[in-house]
Structure 1
Amino acid sequence: MQFTTRFTRLAIAGLALTLTHCARNPVTGKREISLMSTEQEIALGKESHPSIVASMGIYENAKLTAYINEKGKAMAAISHRPDLPYQFYIVDSPVVNAFAVPGGYVYFTRGIMAHFNNEAEFAGVLGHEIGHVTARHSVRQQTSQLFSTLGAIAGTIFVPQLGETLMQGAQLLTLKYSRDHESESDQLGVGYSSKIGYDARQMANFFSTIKRIQDNSGQAVPNMLSTHPDPGNRFTRVNQLAKDYQTQNPANYQINRDAYLRLVDGIMFGEDPRQGFVENNMFYHPELKFQFSVPSGWQYQNSPAQFQMGPKDGKSAMILMLAKGNSLDEAAQNMVKELGLTVLENGKTTVNGLPALVVISQQKPQQQQGQPQQQQSAANTLQIGTYLIQYNNGIYALHGLSAATDFQQAFPSFKRVSESFRTLTDPDKLNRKPDRVYVKQVPRTGTFRDAMTALGMPSSRLEELGVLNSMKNDDQVQQGSLIKVIAK
C-alpha cells in the first residue's frame, strides 16, 4: 500500500510535464510516451526500497551478497542502461521468487537462491530482472494504464502469491502487456547472461523447476489469465533463444554447478521459525514469545511486519501487527486517527491475564478521484473488530476485518483467535531451529532416490528434495558428485 501510494504521488507530480514527452526506449530503440524520467525512476526505487525491506527483511549472508553484487554489476555494465545505480539484495523470504523495481533495484529471495543449481541458472534470472529495468517495463506498463491505475509494477518472475487476485475483463489487455514484458525480459536474460559467459540453456532448465513448484503447490492458472507466460512454454522458447544465440556467437559458455552449490551450502530453507511459524493450527513467535490460534483451513502469510490470515472465501481476514502507542488508550486513539475510523463500541477486558481493549469500528468506502460519489451501504463499508493487547512492553493489535454485512457472522472467529493470544512457554517452540540446505557428496553411484536414502533423508521429503536439486527419483547420480540435502 505504501509503495503504491508513493509511486502515485511521484507519477502524478510529473504527469503534466511528461504526458507529451516522447523518449527512445534503450532496448527497443523505438520512441514512446514516457511518464517518468530516469531521475524519477531512480527516486521511485530509492523510495520503495525501505518498504520492501520492512515487509520482507534482508537475508544476512556476506558471501552470497558479495556474489550477487559482483555478478549483478558485471551484467549491468554490458546492459542497455549501464549508467543506472544498480543495487542487488537477497531478501529473507522462503518463496521462490525474484523481482525488480525501477531505478535498478533488484531482489532475490533466499528461497530462489536455494533452488538454483548452478551459476548459469542464477545468471539467466539475473539477466531477466535487469531486463525489466533496462526495458523500462514499469514505465511502459503505467503508460498503458494512464487513465486507470498508477500503481507500481514490480517485475517478478512467477505467478501471483497468496491473496492476490487475477485481473479480468478489460484488464486482460494489461495482462497481455505484462506477458509481453516477461517474454522480452526472457530474451534479454538470454543475451545478458550469455554476454558475461554463461550457458543460457540453464535458464530454460530453471523454468522446469518453476513448473514443478507451481504444479506441486496447485497455484497453476490458465495461461490466458496469467500475468506471466506458462513455465512450460517459457522453457521451450528460452531454450530455443539460447541455442540460437550460441549458434550465432560460438564460445565456451559456463555452467559452474559445483562452485554455486558451495556458495549456498548452509543457506536457510523454508520458514525462519525465529520470525514465527504455524504448526497444528497455532502461530508461534519464539523471539517475541507469544502464540495464538489459526482456524483450520485458513490461509496465512507471515512477514517481519505483520501476520495475515483468512478463510478461502475471502469474505474476512485477520491481521496481527504492532500498534503505535505506549498505552492501550493511546494505541486506540492513534489507530482511529490514522485509519479514519468511526468507533461503534469499545471496552476494556483481559486476554489470558493480559490487559486488553476491544474496539469495534467502521471505515467509510474510499472515494476515487474522478468517480461518482459512492453511496455508503453495509456491503461497501469495512467493519473492524480490534483487540489491542498489552504484552512485554508493546501493544499488539489483532484486527478482524469484513464487510459490515458479514461482520456478525465473522466476529465469533475474530474473538476466538484474539482471546487465544497468550505467552509462549513451550521450550520446543522457543528453541526451534530452521531447516538449512547442506551440500554433500553422493556416497555411491545410483539413483537420486538411493542417494537421498543413503544420506538419511526421509522418503516423505523426496519430492521436495527432487525439486531442490532439479532431479527425479530415478535420475542417475555419480559417486562423489555434489548434491543438496535439508537438515537442521
Structure 2
Amino acid sequence: MPFPFFRAGAIALLFLPLASLAPRPAAHPATVASPLQGAKPDPQVIAQFGMFENPKLQQYIATQGKKMTAISDRPGDYGFTIVDSPIINAFATPDGHVYFTRGIMAYFNNEAQFTGVLGHELGHITARHGQKQQTKSTIASLGLLLGQVVAPRVMQSVGGLAQQGLQLGLLKYSRDAENEADVLGVKYSSKVGYDASQMADFFLTLERTEKASGGGSTPGFLSTHPNSADRYQRVKGLAAQAQQSLNKTSLKVNRDSYLRSIDGLVFGDDPRQGFVEGSVFYQPELKLRLPVPSGWKTENTPAQFQMSEPSGKAVLVFTNAPAGTVAASATSIAKQIGLASAQAQSTTINGFPAVTFEGDQAASSSSSSSTPAHVRGYVIQDGQTNYALLGLSAPATFGTYAPQFDQTAQGFQRLTDAARLN
C-alpha cells in the first residue's frame, strides 16, 4: 500500500532534474499577450502538495474563478485548484493556474475575502509578474534550507525538496508587483459585485496571525506576497474608489454562505497524512512510525516527510521507493540520484527486508566549483510497498550525521498504539 500522502508522481518529483525546476525565460516579451494554458493543474504541484479531495469546494472555486476571468484584462484558459496543504497561501503560475491551499481556505472569514485574494492572484497573471520573476530568479533559492553547505548537485537528486515549499509557484513578488496585484484584485472583485475592502481585513488578519505564531519555516502568504506598512489603508482606499466608480451602493460579503461551504474543512495538519508527536513521526493509515532526530525541523507534504538539521547542514527524506525487489529498488534509486560506485548491503530492520547503500554523487560537469553530496540511503520493504529514507550532507560533515541517519532508519517500526491509530 503506497503512502496516501505520497501522491502518484511523488517519486518522479523526488528525482526531477534540476533543470526542469529552473526558472525559464518567458516565451514572449511581457508586452506580448502569450496564450494561457493553465486549465489543468501542474502535476509537479499536485505531487508536492496533493489534490484536496472535496469536489464541492473545488467546483466552488472554479465557478468563482470563471466569473472573474470573464471580466479580467487577460481572457484565457485559466484553472483553479485547492491543494491539500495546511500552509496558509495562494499562488498563481504564469500559465494561468491559480492554487489555494486548504489552509488559506480555512482562514477566509467570508466570500468577499476569498474573492479579493482570487482577484489578487489573477492580477499577478494578467500583469505577467510570474514571467518577470522567472526571468530574474536564479536556481540558488533551491539551496536555501541546506545553507549552501550541500552543493547544488544534491538539489538535482532531490528535485529541490530541501527547500521547504515548491518554488514553481511560490515565487516571492516585489512590493511593486504586490501593489499592482492589489489594484487589480480590488478592480476584479468589485466588478463581480464583492466588497473589496474585505481583502484588506484579510491581510491584516494574516499579519496578526504571523506575528502571534512567531513566523514559520514554511512559506506563507506574507512571505511570498510581502506586506507594506500602508497596505491596509491603501487597499481600503482603492476599494472605496472602486465602489464609487461602479456606482454600487451595496456589495456582497456573504459570510454565512462561505462558512457553510467550508464546513467540515480540516484546520491545520491532517492527522490522516501523518503527524509528529514528541520526536516520532506517526502514520496511522500505513501503521508505521519513524523517529525524528532531536531538535530537527520537520515538514510533511504529499511528496515526502522531511527532517532537516537546524542549521541546514543535513537532511533526511522519507518517501516511496520504486516497486520491485528491495535490491532492485535500491539500485534504481542509487542510479537516479547519480551515486558513483554505491556500496550496497542487504539487512533487516525490525523484521522488514532492507538494503542500505552509500556513496558520493558523481561530480557534475556543469558545476565544477561545487562539491557533490554524500548520501546514505535505506530501502525498506513492507509487503508490496517499498519505502526510501535518504540521508544527505556534505562529505566533510557526513560522519557527524551518519549516526543520526542510522538511528532514524533503525527506528522504522510497525505502529500498534491504538491511541495513535484512531
Scaled by the length of structure 1, the TM-score of the pair is: 0.72
Following superposition, the deviation at residue 121 of structure 1 comes to 0.2
Q: Give the secondary-structure state (helix, strand or coil) at the position aligned to 2:130.
A: helix
Match of 2:318 in 1: 320
Q: Give the secondary-structure state (helix, strand or coil) at the position aligned to 2:391.
A: strand
Q: Give the secondary-structure state (helix, strand or coil) at the position aligned to 2:86.
A: coil
Following superposition, the deviation at residue 366 of structure 1 comes to 3.4
Match of 2:106 in 1: 114
Q: 2:255 aligns with which of 254, 257, 282?
A: 257
Following superposition, the deviation at residue 265 of structure 1 comes to 1.3
Match of 1:248 in 2: 245
Following superposition, the deviation at residue 230 of structure 1 comes to 2.3
Q: 1:230 aligns with which of 224, 227, 241?
A: 227
Q: Give the secondary-structure state (helix, strand or coil) at the position aligned to 1:308.
A: strand
More deviation, 358-367/282-291: 358-367
Unaligned segments of structure 1, at least 5 residues: 27-36, 153-160, 166-173, 432-488
Match of 1:185 in 2: 181
Q: 1:53 aligns with which of 46, 49, 52?
A: 46
Paired with 2:44 and 2:79, the residues of 1 have a C-alpha distance of 15
Contact 2:296/2:309 (CA < 8 Å) preserved in 1? yes
Q: Give the secondary-structure state (helix, strand or coil) at the position aligned to 1:117.
A: coil
Following superposition, the deviation at residue 293 of structure 1 comes to 0.7
In the alignment, structure 1 residue 400 sits paired with structure 2 residue 397: no
1:180 is matched by which residue type in structure 2?
D
Distance 1:133 1:414, change over 3 A: same
The percent of aligned pairs where both chains have the same amino acid is 45
Q: Give the secondary-structure state (helix, strand or coil) at the position aligned to 1:270.
A: coil
Counterparts of 1:73-472 in structure 2, within 5 Å, are 73-82=66-75, 84-144=76-136, 163=163, 178-219=174-215, 228-230=225-227, 233-251=230-248, 252-368=250-366, 373-374=368-369, 380-431=371-422
Contact 1:8/1:151 (CA < 8 Å) preserved in 2? no
Distance 1:198 1:59, change over 3 A: same
Contact 1:3/1:51 (CA < 8 Å) preserved in 2? no
Q: Give the secondary-structure state (helix, strand or coil) at the position aligned to 1:274.
A: helix
Q: Give the secondary-structure state (helix, strand or coil) at the position aligned to 1:300.
A: strand
Contact 1:4/1:151 (CA < 8 Å) preserved in 2? no
Paired with 1:162 and 1:344, the residues of 2 have a C-alpha distance of 22
How many residues matched? 381
Q: Deviations over 1:46-75 (max 9, x none)?
A: 787111111111112232222111111000
Following superposition, the deviation at residue 220 of structure 1 comes to 7.7
> Between Structure 1 and Structure 2, whose CA radius of gyration is higher?
1
Paired with 1:5 and 1:150, the residues of 2 have a C-alpha distance of 12
Paired with 1:150 and 1:85, the residues of 2 have a C-alpha distance of 31
Following superposition, the deviation at residue 418 of structure 1 comes to 0.8
Following superposition, the deviation at residue 364 of structure 1 comes to 3.4
Scaled by the length of structure 2, the TM-score of the pair is: 0.82
Paired with 2:21 and 2:349, the residues of 1 have a C-alpha distance of 40
- Which of the pair has the greater relative contact order for Cα pairs under 8 Å at 6+ separation? 2
Distance 1:124 1:112, change over 3 A: same
Q: Give the secondary-structure state (helix, strand or coil) at the position aligned to 1:269.
A: coil
Paired with 1:4 and 1:195, the residues of 2 have a C-alpha distance of 41
Q: Give the secondary-structure state (helix, strand or coil) at the position aligned to 1:268.
A: coil
Contact 1:390/1:396 (CA < 8 Å) preserved in 2? yes
Paired with 2:261 and 2:39, the residues of 1 have a C-alpha distance of 29
Distance 1:335 1:3, change over 3 A: closer
Q: Deviations over 1:166-215 (max 9, x none)?
A: xxxxxxxx97x633222211111111000001111100000111112211
Q: Deviations over 1:219-276 (max 9, x none)?
A: 289xxx9653226543232222212222333312111111111111111111111211
Q: Give the secondary-structure state (helix, strand or coil) at the position aligned to 1:108.
A: strand
Following superposition, the deviation at residue 387 of structure 1 comes to 1.4
Unaligned segments of structure 2, at least 5 residues: 1-12, 143-160, 166-170
1:142 is matched by which residue type in structure 2?
Q
Contact 1:362/1:382 (CA < 8 Å) preserved in 2? yes
